[in-house]
């Protein structure tokens, strides 16, 4: 009897405890390292992920954009009463008063480092030669931005543990590494398309490296002196792009940024591809949300603006300042109001042409005057609003505008600058062999419609870069190279401390990575 | 008036329903005997069960102890009640019997569930609080945690929000969570719950019907919780459901209905004040729209509540059963919000075989609830925020009574309420089967197999009519989400219970347990097609998502990495002569979550108790019992996402694969060590009894979502680590019961519990920030400070000068950050008082928290002076002696918005009248009226200082932030209960 009971109990406990097994972790919805490695096709998906990592970093209004434009004479984020105060973290950008806890700096540092990680990680999964070259180009691209903004580039080799502090390359060492990577991968890169890592993009990035090399050699120096050898390298890369790249001016300056710019633009050399409806977390709409007033269409956040000195650098008739633009899906705009470029003055309902008011009922007239902290009574309407990307009215939730990372006119302007800074002029394409003719080729093209400059000077060259490349993320770098970043400008009426030539390493990263050193002065 | 008549209608409908339901079965020709059950000190015994021996007749005593039952001379009545010694009384010729019952000494014979077993209260060595049904808070509750709010020392229970079914915060012995929820482990009839709720802002205990709960035991110190090992660091709450009782079938019926309205409003400007303010701030007079409106009133309603439950139970010594059904309908106090729950529970306890050595316990609980309107009521752009800020001179309605829409204008809360919808439906099934076999008197094997399944479907839509306002989708939006949580459990225990030597008793449990947790789901979102959108068919968009724009859709699905626990545990309790008690427990927990280098965690505990009063030399007449307890134990916490220890790649919706985490193979549990010293006493003939505990709890190996070390995977916001540092919570808990008056017709009992807490952080490598208020942190976790101290600018007032900065904020040292407040209460207080006079009783419960600060982000973000141009503002900022400049960035975080959060609440006041038996059918009838939250004493300017709006940053929890929350309500409830 007793035995039978014991058998019964033993039976029950065995039946219900067949799970007396080793603990195993399974991943029903995710892939492990070995699963990723098991299928060679996964490298393409991983590479796609690296491209995807650029989206938020560059397209969002809150990662790279505030660092590169709102810290300059071209952009400001005015506090409008209780709107856009954000506890002052935006104000300090334009005022050059930021510290190591600023969220935009940590977003920039972390996002760029994320691309470095993803582009490194794919290398351990045995990618094809071209995939490998693309990944290494994208890593060099992200590292370049880390170098430019922070002077410190944290890195690991593929497969190294993320629990160990990453090693760090600094300044010239980092630049050397980036240049050597670009040269190494060049033969394996494709010629296009422009939304992929391509040979011409690599050459333009090399131009940026050499053009700014003197800056990266000594970050505390507000007036870098440039070496003719480097300038000739810039010219040489430019000539390859000009002669072999097949790029020319777009028929319309704003085609470069409009919905469908994948096919509309002839100038774009490197872009971040957005496909209507299929790009995940597509935040390109921040290009208009960040400037549009709440009452405009699409309704915006009534945020950032430019300053009148910057706006006044343009000639009245030139097209880069603003035009009437339309797409198949855009409102009719019966009053032919300027609807892309710098939006100044009275704004209208572009369907009915009725003048708009702000939320308090006063006319929505964007004024040239704008302050760091706006004062009564026109809190909402101050500041001219730059709109570079024409809204995609057909795909409001996932716009079709690709984000532009490199453009042909920048290549020409860099070549002109390199010649101006002591490089030897060369004749490539139909743009002339001297700085003035190259600059004027851009200015006088019908898509720009500006008058020719009599001669190029340092002052009008930096202005020209401002006019051509406004709000494309180059203003801070350009002002630093021209020694003008620290000078007083509107709403920062003082010379800034040279420490602001670099952004601080985010405080949270200093805590977790003992190999990182804070930049001087922070 | 609508509400009152409705209640009467509901109540009478309910009564008729129940009467129809009942077939009167007790029509024997018996003599009717009535009587009263009293305790030895003359107080009436409420809820005593009276059974006529060898019959199916039974009844229950009413609140005044009265009962009546059919019996004939010679019958024997068996009278039993929790905490009393069972009594048998022979019926003679008399028609009125007074039955006097003796207390089990201070209820020390009560059985408390302590995890994988039970113990008598007198044998406890750890800090365990037990609240049984008779002491529960009265009223209508959506979840059982509210039954014990304010009843247990050392436990802070906060309704984060005022909405029915809304989230709660339960902190046992202070705040020690640097990550995760910091909530205790809930165990329902031996089945530990997953702890996650199906939707943020939702209470994980919502699925239970409070009427099914028999008792709630709270294990507070580590010597009691260590048996639950790596999930017990924040305490354990054991919920025991009611089981069948021996006797003929008894049906308990309870019905209640009530109305609720807002407890406290936020004082914004009324229309006259607004007109004055327009002049005072010299803004455009056209902001005066001419009407007089109180928008808050327009979105509030008198919420009707109905709660019905019927439970049947019965059985004999070989088999007992209980079944119950419940229905709860709680209308919110904000229009179009509410909570409806259906629940059913079946429990059987069978004894099998001839020898009765094989037993089988079976329990099945099923419920479904729906929660409406909770998501769109609160937060930025919610109905409450838009009502608070609505211009009081602007009418909400058109002349025809419809809600007014002004394109681009302020968002009309009535329009929001009409055109936003959200609905959550949660279905839960908790089933367990537990066979056990008694090898002998002292050895028993038990198996428990359980499954807990819950599924939540949330549907929400935004009507395209809202596109006239900024930030609403042009063509409407529909979102459907589904989520499932599944927990499977197998527990084997062997129980040993024997006097092994003279006077030395050993009670030991050894067990093996395996658990598996699953969390999976999917989500669909669609925006209407261009340009027509979803159209105006009056249908909910979530019913035809396929009509959306193909470019405006997103779909996703997920399953969490598997999460399994394998555990071995044991407990021994030595009892020598009932004088010396020694408990030792041990648990080994293996978890798939832990990194490969730390698969198993080990959690021991020891506790000792000395029944001083049993020693002859300490025999003092005044002291009935005195026990001293001391314990130490280790527990853990593993509240971090499964899969954190190895690299994971996820599929993205454009065909890409990305790594999503920074894996850490060294990851392990967070460790808690706790000491506890306590005294239990009972004096003056058991008239005064109490418990005092001092504890010190040290939390180390802090689970922390650290910033990843860059370069790190782009989608990994955190890297889970065990951070160096200590969080120390120390405190003193006191609970005193006094039977102050014991007269035949009048008794008064008073229970007071108080908790004094101190919290400190040390050893952290650097400060940690949390408390997200409009994108920036307002709380700091730093060495030498209490958890989550408010850290921001110190506001010194508005500039009184006449210069250009007149009316702008001035901050100490130009805005340097300082520690300016502490969200942790220093004192928790609960007072419970019961008067009985004849058939009446009056129960009052007061709860209070003291010493905590609240960050009032509602005032900062919604009601600042800048809003005067078209929106409403708080009276407090208007009344500031200095005229604030309208361009002052008053939304900057600062101590200006930190307020004292001390409060005392009349959480519960009940007057009941014990009718006793009515006709032949209704036994032990009680009627009562309850007021919940009748008053609130506080200086806090928000809706309610009992608040905790989530402001976590990367999973680091915040505490004490208030923002655009759902207001708390005050309820008046009428109820009736009787047995059949």
Residue A101 to chain B, least CA–CA distance (Å): 11
Beta carbons of B649 and B657 less than 8 angstroms apart:
yes
The A residues from 417 to 456 touching B (CB cutoff 8 Å) are none
> From the candidates A24, A33, A87, which should be mutated to test the interface with B, based on the most B CB atoms within 10 A?
A87
Nearest CA among B79, B120, B85 for reference residue B102: B85
Contact of A100 with chain B, judged by CB distance below 8 Å, is answered with no
What is the distance between the alpha carbons of residues A142 and A133, in angstroms, rounded to a whole number? 14
pLDDT tier at B96 (50, 70, 90 boundaries)? confident
pLDDT tier at B339 (50, 70, 90 boundaries)? very high
Residue A64: the pLDDT is 96
Contact of A82 with chain B, judged by CB distance below 8 Å, is answered with yes
- The two three-digit tokens of residue A427, written as one number: 């004749």
Q: Give pLDDT tens digits for B235-293.
A: 999 999 999 888 788 899 999 999 999 999 999 999 999 999 999 998 889 899 999 99
pLDDT tier at B12 (50, 70, 90 boundaries)? very low
- Tell me if B776 and A103 make a contact (CB, 8 A cut-off): yes
The B residues from 694 to 713 touching A (CB cutoff 8 Å) are 706-713
CB contacts, 8 Å: B644 with chain A: none
- Tell me if A29 and B650 make a contact (CB, 8 A cut-off): yes
Question: Under DSSP, is residue B397 helix (H, G, I), strand (E, B) or coil?
Answer: strand
Q: What is the mean pLDDT of chain B?
A: 89
Question: Under DSSP, is residue A88 helix (H, G, I), strand (E, B) or coil?
Answer: helix
Residue B310 to chain A, least CA–CA distance (Å): 35
Alpha-carbon dihedral A118, A120, A126, A127, rounded to 10 degrees = 70
Number of Cβ atoms within 10 Å of the Cβ of B919: 9
Please state which of the ranges A351-360, B916-925, B929-938 shows the lowest mean pLDDT. B916-925
Contact of A155 with chain B, judged by CB distance below 8 Å, is answered with yes
What is the distance between the alpha carbons of residues B593 and B561, in angstroms, rounded to a whole number? 9
pLDDT exceeding 70 applies to what percent of chain A?
96
pLDDT tier at B17 (50, 70, 90 boundaries)? very low
The B residues from 595 to 614 touching A (CB cutoff 8 Å) are 599
Contact of A514 with chain B, judged by CB distance below 8 Å, is answered with no
Contact of B892 with chain A, judged by CB distance below 8 Å, is answered with yes
CB contacts, 8 Å: A13 with chain B: 445, 447, 492
Residue A2: the pLDDT is 58
pLDDT reading at A504 higher than 90:
yes
Minimal Cα distance from A330: which residue of B?
A: B531
- DSSP H helical segments within A98-246, as ranges? 103-121, 129-150, 171-185, 199-211, 213-217, 228-244
Beta carbons of B866 and B972 less than 8 angstroms apart:
no
Q: Give this prediction's pTM.
A: 0.88
pLDDT reading at A502 higher than 70:
yes
Residue B599: the pLDDT is 86
- DSSP H helical segments within A281-377, as ranges? 286-289, 308-311
pLDDT reading at B69 higher than 90:
no
Mean per-residue pLDDT, B299-327 = 93
pLDDT tier at A5 (50, 70, 90 boundaries)? low
Please state which of the ranges B285-299, B613-627, B702-716 shows the lowest mean pLDDT. B613-627
Mean per-residue pLDDT, B294-315 = 95
Residue B318 to chain A, least CA–CA distance (Å): 20
The B residues from 47 to 76 touching A (CB cutoff 8 Å) are none
User: What is the interface size between A and B, counted as CB pairs within 8 Å?
Assistant: 257
Of the partner residues A17, A31, A279, the one whose CB lies closest to the CB of residue B657 = A31
CB contacts, 8 Å: A360 with chain B: 283-284, 287, 869-870
The residues near B618 (Cβ < 8 Å, ≥ 6 apart) are: B612, B626
**H or E segment at B156?**
strand B155-159
pLDDT exceeding 70 applies to what percent of chain B?
96
Residue B878 to chain A, least CA–CA distance (Å): 16
Mean per-residue pLDDT, A368-395 = 91
- Tell me if B892 and A88 make a contact (CB, 8 A cut-off): yes
Nearest CA among A75, A80, A46, A21 for reference residue A381: A80
Residue B623: the pLDDT is 87
pLDDT tier at B44 (50, 70, 90 boundaries)? confident
CB contacts, 8 Å: B765 with chain A: 511
Residue A90 to chain B, least CA–CA distance (Å): 12
- DSSP H helical segments within A261-305, as ranges? 261-264, 286-289
> From the candidates A15, A28, A30, A515, which should be mutated to test the interface with B, based on the most B CB atoms within 10 A?
A30
Of the partner residues A83, A113, A511, the one whose CB lies closest to the CB of residue B766 = A511
Contact of A373 with chain B, judged by CB distance below 8 Å, is answered with yes
Residue A128: the pLDDT is 96
Contact of B447 with chain A, judged by CB distance below 8 Å, is answered with yes
Q: Give pLDDT tens digits for B882-917.
A: 999 988 988 889 999 999 999 999 999 999 998 888
CB contacts, 8 Å: B490 with chain A: 16-17, 19
Residue A206: the pLDDT is 98
Among positive and negative, which fits the CA dihedral B267, B272, B275, B280? negative
The A residues from 192 to 251 touching B (CB cutoff 8 Å) are none
What is the distance between the alpha carbons of residues B519 and B197, in angstroms, rounded to a whole number? 11
- DSSP H helical segments within A380-456, as ranges? 408-420, 435-443
Q: Give pLDDT tens digits for A281-340.
A: 789 999 999 999 988 988 889 999 999 999 999 999 999 999 999 999 999 999 999 999
The residues near A178 (Cβ < 8 Å, ≥ 6 apart) are: A140, A143, A144, A147, A205, A209
pLDDT exceeding 90 applies to what percent of chain B?
64
Cis amide linkage into residue A298, ω under 30° from 0: yes
The A residues from 459 to 478 touching B (CB cutoff 8 Å) are none
Please state which of the ranges B92-101, B449-458, B555-564, B603-612 shows the lowest mean pLDDT. B92-101
Of the partner residues A163, A279, A376, the one whose CB lies closest to the CB of residue B664 = A163
Residue A458: the pLDDT is 93
The B residues from 555 to 574 touching A (CB cutoff 8 Å) are 557-562, 564, 566
Contact of A41 with chain B, judged by CB distance below 8 Å, is answered with no
Residue B655: the pLDDT is 85
Of the partner residues B492, B649, B892, the one whose CB lies closest to the CB of residue A36 = B649
Helix axes A129-150, A171-185, angle to 10 degrees: 160
Strands B504-528 and B477-501, by their bridges, are antiparallel
Residue B16: the pLDDT is 43
- The two three-digit tokens of residue B595, written as one number: 């990194």
Contact of A3 with chain B, judged by CB distance below 8 Å, is answered with no
Contact of A19 with chain B, judged by CB distance below 8 Å, is answered with yes
- Tell me if B713 and A118 make a contact (CB, 8 A cut-off): yes
CB contacts, 8 Å: B590 with chain A: 23
- Tell me if A277 and B447 make a contact (CB, 8 A cut-off): no
What is the distance between the alpha carbons of residues B211 and B243, in angstroms, rounded to a whole number? 12
pLDDT tier at B774 (50, 70, 90 boundaries)? confident
- DSSP H helical segments within A151-212, as ranges? 171-185, 199-211
Q: Provide the ipTM.
A: 0.91
Mean per-residue pLDDT, B284-308 = 94
- Tell me if B561 and A28 make a contact (CB, 8 A cut-off): yes
Of the partner residues B283, B564, B891, the one whose CB lies closest to the CB of residue A23 = B564
Please state which of the ranges B10-19, B647-656, B817-826, B849-858 shows the lowest mean pLDDT. B10-19
Minimal Cα distance from B449: which residue of A?
A: A16
> From the candidates B446, B512, B641, B711, which should be mutated to test the interface with A, based on the most A CB atoms within 10 A?
B711
């Amino acid at each position: 009897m007793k035995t039978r009971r014991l058998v019964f109990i033993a039976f029950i406990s065995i039946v219900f405890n067949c799970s007396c097994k080793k603990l195993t972790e399974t991943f029903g919805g995710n892939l492990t390292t070995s699963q990723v490695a098991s299928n060679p096709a996964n490298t393409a998906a991983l590479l796609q992920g690296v491209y995807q990592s650029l989206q938020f970093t560059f397209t969002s209004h809150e990662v790279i954009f505030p660092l590169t434009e709102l810290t300059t004479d071209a952009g400001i984020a005015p506090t409008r009463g209780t709107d856009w105060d954000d506890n002052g973290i935006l104000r300090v950008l334009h005022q050059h008063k930021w510290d190591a806890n600023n969220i935009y700096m940590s977003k920039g540092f972390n996002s760029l480092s994320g691309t470095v990680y993803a582009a490194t990680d794919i290398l351990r999964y045995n990618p094809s030669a071209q995939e490998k070259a693309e990944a290494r180009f994208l890593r060099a691209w992200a590292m370049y931005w880390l170098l430019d903004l922070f002077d410190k580039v944290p890195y690991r080799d593929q497969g190294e543990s993320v629990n160990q502090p990453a090693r760090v390359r600094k300044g010239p060492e980092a630049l050397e590494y980036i240049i050597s990577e670009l040269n190494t991968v060049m033969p394996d890169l494709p010629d296009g398309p422009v939304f992929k890592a391509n040979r011409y993009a690599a050459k333009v990035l090399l131009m940026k490296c050499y053009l700014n090399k003197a800056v990266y050699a000594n970050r505390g120096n507000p007036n870098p002196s440039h070496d003719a050898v480097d300038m000739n390298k810039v010219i040489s890369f430019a000539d390859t792009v000009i002669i072999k790249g097949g790029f020319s001016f777009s028929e319309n300056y704003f085609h470069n940024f409009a919905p469908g710019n994948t096919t509309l633009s002839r100038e774009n050399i490197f872009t971040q591809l957005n496909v209507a409806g299929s790009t995940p977390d597509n935040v390109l709409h921040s290009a208009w949300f960040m400037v549009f007033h709440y009452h405009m269409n699409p309704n915006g956040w009534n945020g950032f603006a430019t300053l009148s000195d910057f706006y006044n650098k343009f000639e009245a008739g030139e097209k880069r300042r603003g035009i009437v633009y339309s797409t198949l899906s855009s409102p009719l705009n019966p009053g032919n109001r300027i609807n892309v470029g710098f939006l100044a003055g009275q704004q209208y309902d572009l369907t009915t042409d009725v003048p708009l008011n702000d939320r308090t009922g006063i006319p929505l007239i964007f004024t040239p005057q704008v302050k760091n902290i706006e004062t009564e009574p026109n809190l909402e309407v101050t500041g001219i609003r730059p709109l570079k990307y024409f809204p995609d009215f057909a795909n409001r939730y996932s716009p079709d505008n690709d984000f532009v990372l490199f453009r042909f006119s920048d290549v020409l302007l860099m070549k002109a600058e390199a010649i101006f800074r002591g490089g030897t002029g060369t004749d490539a394409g139909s743009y002339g062999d001297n700085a003035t003719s190259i600059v004027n080729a851009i200015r006088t093209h019908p898509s720009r419609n500006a008058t020719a400059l009599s001669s190029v000077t340092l002052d009008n060259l930096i202005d020209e870069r401002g006019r051509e490349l406004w709000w494309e993320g180059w203003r801070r770098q350009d002002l630093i190279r021209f020694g003008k970043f620290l000078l007083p400008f509107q709403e920062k009426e003082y010379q800034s401390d040279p420490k602001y030539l670099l952004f601080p390493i985010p405080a949270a990263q200093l805590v977790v990575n003992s190999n990182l050193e804070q930049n001087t002065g922070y | 008036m609508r509400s009152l008549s409705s209640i009467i209608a509901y109540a009478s409908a309910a009564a008729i329903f129940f009467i129809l339901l009942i077939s009167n079965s007790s029509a024997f020709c018996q003599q009717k005997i009535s009587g009263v059950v009293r305790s030895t000190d003359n107080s009436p015994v409420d809820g005593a069960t009276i059974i006529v021996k060898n019959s199916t007749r039974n009844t229950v005593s009413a609140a005044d102890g009265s009962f009546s039952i059919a019996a004939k001379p010679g019958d024997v009545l068996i009278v039993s009640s929790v905490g009393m010694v069972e009594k048998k009384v022979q019926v003679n010729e008399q028609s009125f019997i007074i039955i006097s019952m003796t207390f089990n000494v201070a209820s020390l014979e009560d059985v408390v569930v302590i995890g994988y077993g039970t113990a008598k209260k007198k044998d406890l060595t750890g800090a365990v609080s037990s609240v049984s049904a008779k002491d529960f808070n009265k009223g209508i509750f959506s979840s059982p945690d509210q039954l014990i709010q304010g009843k247990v020392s050392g436990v802070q229970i906060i309704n984060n929000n005022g909405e029915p079914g809304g989230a709660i915060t339960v902190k046992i012995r202070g705040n020690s969570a640097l990550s995760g929820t910091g909530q205790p482990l809930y165990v329902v009839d031996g089945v530990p719950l997953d702890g996650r709720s199906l939707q943020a802002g939702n209470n994980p205990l919502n699925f239970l019907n409070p009427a099914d709960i028999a008792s709630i035991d709270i294990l507070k110190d580590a010597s009691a919780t260590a048996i639950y090992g790596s999930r017990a660091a924040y305490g354990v709450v054991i919920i025991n459901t009611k089981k069948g009782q021996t006797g003929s079938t008894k049906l308990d019926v309870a019905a209640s209905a009530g109305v609720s309205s807002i407890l406290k409003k936020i004082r914004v400007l009324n229309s006259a004040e607004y007109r004055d303010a327009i002049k005072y701030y010299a803004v455009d007079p056209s902001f005066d729209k001419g009407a007089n409106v109180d928008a808050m009133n327009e979105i509030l309603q008198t919420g009707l509540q109905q709660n019905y439950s019927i439970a049947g139970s019965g059985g004999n010594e070989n088999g007992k059963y209980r079944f119950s059904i419940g229905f709860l309908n709680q209308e919110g106090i904000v229009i179009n919000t509410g909570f409806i729950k259906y629940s059913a529970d079946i429990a059987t306890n069978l004894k099998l075989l001839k020898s009765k050595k094989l037993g089988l316990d079976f329990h099945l609980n099923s419920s479904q609830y729906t929660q409406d309107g909770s998501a769109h009521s609160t937060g930025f752009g919610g109905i409450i925020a838009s009502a608070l800020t609505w211009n009081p001179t602007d009418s909400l309605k058109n002349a025809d009574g419809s809600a007014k829409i002004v394109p681009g204008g302020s968002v009309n809360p009535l329009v929001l309420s009409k055109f936003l919808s959200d609905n959550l439906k949660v279905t839960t099934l908790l089933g367990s089967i537990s066979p056990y076999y008694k090898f002998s008197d002292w050895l028993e094997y038990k198996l428990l197999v359980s499954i807990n399944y819950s599924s939540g479907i949330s549907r929400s839509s935004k009507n395209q009519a809202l596109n006239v306002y900024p930030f609403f989708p042009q063509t409407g939006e529909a979102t459907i989400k589904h989520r499932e949580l599944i927990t499977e459990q197998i527990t084997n225990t062997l129980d040993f219970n024997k006097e092994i030597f003279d006077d030395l008793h050993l009670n030991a449990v050894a067990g093996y347990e395996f658990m598996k947790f699953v969390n999976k789901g999917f989500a669909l979102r669609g925006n209407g097609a261009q340009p027509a959108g979803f159209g105006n068919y009056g249908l909910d968009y979530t019913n035809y998502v396929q009509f959306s724009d193909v470019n405006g859709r997103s779909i996703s699905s997920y399953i969490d990495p598997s999460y399994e626990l394998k555990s071995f545990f044991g407990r021994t309790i030595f009892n020598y002569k009932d004088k010396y008690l020694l408990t030792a427990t041990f648990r080994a927990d293996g978890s798939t979550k832990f990194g490969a280098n730390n698969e198993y965690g080990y959690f021991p505990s020891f506790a000792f108790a000395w029944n001083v009063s049993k020693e002859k030399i300490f025999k003092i007449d005044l002291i009935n019992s005195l026990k001293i307890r001391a314990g130490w134990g280790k527990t853990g916490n593993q509240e971090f996402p499964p899969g954190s220890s190895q690299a994971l790649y996820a599929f993205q919706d454009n065909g890409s694969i990305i790594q999503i985490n920074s894996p850490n193979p060294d990851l392990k549990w967070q460790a808690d060590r706790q000491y506890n010293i306590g005294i239990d006493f009972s004096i003056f003939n058991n008239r005064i009894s109490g418990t005092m505990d001092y504890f010190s709890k040290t939390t180390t190996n802090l689970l922390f979502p650290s910033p990843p070390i860059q370069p790190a995977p782009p989608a990994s916001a955190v890297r889970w680590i065990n951070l160096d540092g200590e969080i120390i919570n120390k405190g003193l808990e006191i609970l005193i019961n006094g039977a102050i008056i014991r007269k035949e017709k009048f008794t008064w009992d008073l229970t007071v519990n108080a908790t004094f807490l101190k919290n400190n952080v040390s050893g952290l490598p650097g400060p940690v920030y949390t408390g997200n208020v409009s994108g920036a942190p307002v709380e700091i976790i730093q060495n030498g400070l209490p958890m989550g101290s408010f850290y921001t600018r110190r506001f010194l007032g508005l500039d009184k000068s006449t210069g250009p900065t007149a009316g702008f904020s001035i901050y100490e040292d130009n805005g340097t950050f300082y520690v300016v407040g502490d969200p942790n209460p220093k004192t928790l207080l609960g007072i419970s008082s019961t008067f009985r006079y004849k058939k009446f009783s009056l129960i009052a419960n007061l709860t209070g928290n003291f010493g905590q600060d609240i960050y009032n982000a509602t005032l900062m973000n919604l009601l600042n002076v800048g809003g005067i141009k078209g929106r409403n503002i708080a009276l407090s900022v208007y009344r500031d002696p200095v005229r604030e400049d309208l361009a002052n960035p008053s939304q900057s975080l600062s101590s200006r918005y930190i307020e004292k959060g001390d409060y005392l609440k009349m959480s519960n006041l009940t007057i009941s009248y014990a009718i006793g038996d009515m006709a032949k059918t209704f036994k032990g009838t009680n009627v009562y009226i309850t007021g919940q939250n009748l008053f609130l004493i506080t200086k806090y300017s928000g809706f309610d200082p009992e608040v905790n709006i989530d402001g976590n940053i990367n999973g680091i929890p915040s505490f004490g932030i208030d923002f655009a929350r759902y207001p708390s309500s005050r309820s008046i409830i009428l109820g009736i209960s009787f047995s059949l």
